[in-house]
């Protein structure tokens, strides 16, 4: 008889530190507005405790329980505004994630029948003895389907832009910066438990499709939060491209990008919320003169943009360079990563127009917003320059090949941004009909569930073919 157990290793401890840090930033950011809103603070801190349980449990049923609780509490925070759009988006998020967890339960049942245990260590040990039979592979596929929904993999990510667009800015920062990483954490854990490598190439392909499709949708948007939401999808794709190998430099790069993404995407969502509060609109075509009206917040936003686009001296450059180094010798993978980075650059060239122009607004300073953004901006810079002792201490890897001061890297970045600017001016800014169709594309709940079935079918076929 094995009792319910907790597990702490380098990965879980790293996630614990990240969780506590991001929650503190969200609390600081929302404090002025929410300090007397005890219901909001209760659900926010309850969610933190549940998330900490999720990343420490070593029992696959308890992991299911923690995932369900985090989903329910996240839904409450998404619909907190109580308007029609937020309620619809929150229920969409709740119902679709619940469909995903049904498949998780099926996978859990199959693996329990086969191994007689719910403990991850014992399951892993028994799978190594039993081998990869059809029941174990089917269990793995069902659990990966649930993980794909939670992590917003292609093609089951339609819930994410709806939830991020509807949630308050602080919750959007938390969703994008941390909560979506619960699926990626489960992805890492279950791949180590099952150790089924036949799916690794498929997950790389799904990572590419996730990243590229996220960029296409982001380029079509005019809502500042929707642009950031779809770029959460594209960055998840980059992370999946790294994690799909489950070993080597690309895997380490994927893990580090999880942490770097948490910093710069939380910063960008907080900045977007601050701008929306001041300007009273979310359309980037109606937001002008942000740098003149909000110079401090603008500087922090620019740091976030430089980080996500992979500028040297900022944290995004480090993790993307590690992933690219892992692709060394594979021209196709390197080109795909370059295309994805180029698309990211185009999007933030498009967003950068908000800083220019003349538009007078009432200058409403919020020092709590600016303090949280300052700390996150500093972390983007610190992790972009002092990454060696941190990665050596936590992951035991040597990163001398990451050269943030190399002039070649700066030239490559500037050329990429220059090409992105030209593409934006010649194509994206014209707002062709296909771009408008992408912007207004609305996938129904039924279609999203159908895509989940297709996702599972693809994994089943792949497992039998390979």
pLDDT tens digits for range 254-282: 999 999 999 999 999 999 999 999 998 99
Write down the mean pLDDT value for the chain.
92
- Residue 328 DSSP SS3: coil
Residue 46, pLDDT above cutoff 90: yes
pLDDT tens digits for range 222-231: 999 999 999 9
Whole-prediction pTM: 0.96
Distance CA(119)–CA(284), nearest Å, equals 49
How many Cα atoms sit within 13 Å of 233 on the Cβ side?
Answer: 33
**pLDDT top residue among 77 and 357:** 77
**21-48 burial: b if 16+ Cβ within 10 Å, else e:** bbbebbbbbbbeebeeeeebeebbeebb
Mean pLDDT of 165-173: 92
Least confident of 214-218, 384-388, 434-438: 384-388
What percent of the chain stands above pLDDT 90?
A: 81
Q: Which of 280, 277, 286 is nearest to 29 (CA)?
A: 277
pLDDT tens digits for range 138-159: 999 999 999 999 999 999 999 9
Mean pLDDT of 84-91: 92
Q: Which of 11, 379, 441 is nearest to 219 (CA)?
A: 441
Distance CA(267)–CA(414), nearest Å, equals 23
Using 50, 70 and 90 to split pLDDT, how confident is the model at 360?
Answer: confident
- pLDDT of res. 431: 86
Q: 438: how many CB neighbours lie within 10 A of its CB?
A: 16
Using 50, 70 and 90 to split pLDDT, how confident is the model at 1?
Answer: very low
- pLDDT of res. 3: 59
Mean pLDDT of 177-183: 93
């Amino acid at each position: 008889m094995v009792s319910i157990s907790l597990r702490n290793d380098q990965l879980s401890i790293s996630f614990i530190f990240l969780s506590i840090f991001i929650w503190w930033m969200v609390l600081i950011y929302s404090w002025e507005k929410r300090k007397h809103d005890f219901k909001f603070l209760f659900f926010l801190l309850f969610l933190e405790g549940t998330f900490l349980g999720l990343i420490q449990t070593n029992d696959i049923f308890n992991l299911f329980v923690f995932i369900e609780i985090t989903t329910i509490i996240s839904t409450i925070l998404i619909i907190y505004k109580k308007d029609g759009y937020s309620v619809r988006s929150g229920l969409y998020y709740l119902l679709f994630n619940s469909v995903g967890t049904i498949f998780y339960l099926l996978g859990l049942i199959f693996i329990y029948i086969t191994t007689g245990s719910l403990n991850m260590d014992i399951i892993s040990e028994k799978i190594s003895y039993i081998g990869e039979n059809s029941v174990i592979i089917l269990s793995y596929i069902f659990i990966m389907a649930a993980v794909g929904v939670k992590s917003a993999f292609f093609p089951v990510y339609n819930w994410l832009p709806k939830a991020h667009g509807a949630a308050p800015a602080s919750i959007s920062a938390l969703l994008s910066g941390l909560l979506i990483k619960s699926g990626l954490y489960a992805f890492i854990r279950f791949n180590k438990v099952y150790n089924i490598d036949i799916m690794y190439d498929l997950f790389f392909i799904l990572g590419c499709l996730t990243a590229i499709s996220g960029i296409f949708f982001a380029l079509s948007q005019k809502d500042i939060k929707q642009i950031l939401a779809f770029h959460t999808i594209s960055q998840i794709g980059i992370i999946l491209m790294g994690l799909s190998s489950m070993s080597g430099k690309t895997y380490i790069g994927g893990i580090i990008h999880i942490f770097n993404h948490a910093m710069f995407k939380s910063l960008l969502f907080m900045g977007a919320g601050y701008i929306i509060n001041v300007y009273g609109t979310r359309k980037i075509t109606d937001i002008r003169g942000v740098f003149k009206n909000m110079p401090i917040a603008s500087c922090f936003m620019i740091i976030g943009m430089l980080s996500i686009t992979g500028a040297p001296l900022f944290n995004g450059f480090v993790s993307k360079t590690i992933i690219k180094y892992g692709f060394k010798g594979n021209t196709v993978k390197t080109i795909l990563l370059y295309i994805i980075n180029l698309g990211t650059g185009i999007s933030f060239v498009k967003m950068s127009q908000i800083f220019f122009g003349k538009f007078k607004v009432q200058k409403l300073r919020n020092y709590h917003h600016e303090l949280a953004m300052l700390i996150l901006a500093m972390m983007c810079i610190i992790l972009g320059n002092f990454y060696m002792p941190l990665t050596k201490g936590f992951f035991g890897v040597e990163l001398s090949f990451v050269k943030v001061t190399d002039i070649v890297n700066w030239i490559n970045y500037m050329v990429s941004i220059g090409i992105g600017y030209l593409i934006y001016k010649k194509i994206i800014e014209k707002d062709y009909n296909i771009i408008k169709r992408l912007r207004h594309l609305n996938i129904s709940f039924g279609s999203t569930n159908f895509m989940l079935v297709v996702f599972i079918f693809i994994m089943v076929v792949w497992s039998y073919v390979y």
